[in-house]
Amino acid sequence: ISDHILEELRDEGVKPMHVEGLRAGRWVLMDYIDFVVHVFHPAAREFYQLERLWGDAPAHAFADEA
């Protein structure tokens, strides 16, 4: 998933300022300055429970163009 996001955005000329966690693959963080992408392994997602911290933040839905 992370590789696909990086490739697709790179093809559009969008490059991250910082990426970490690719080697371990349990929690990948991609910082694009204007937005941040988190990709979690299910166990890591359950452990960190970011939804609990950010549950009241505005949500944005994106349509799948495929």
pLDDT tens digits for range 37-66: 999 999 999 998 888 888 888 888 888 776
Query: What does pLDDT average to over the chain?
Result: 91
**Is 57 or 12 the better-scoring residue by pLDDT?**
12
Reported pTM:
0.74
Which residue has better confidence, 5 or 64? 5
Beta bridge partners, 40, equal 27
For 18, the domain range is: 2-54
Query: What CATH number does the domain containing 23 carry?
Result: 3.30.460.10
Q: Would you say residue 7 lies in a domain? A: yes
CA dist 54 and 9 (Å) reads 25
> What is the pLDDT at residue 54?
81
Q: How many CB atoms lie within 10 A of CB 39?
A: 19
Task: Please report the pLDDT score of residue 1 as a whole number.
Answer: 94
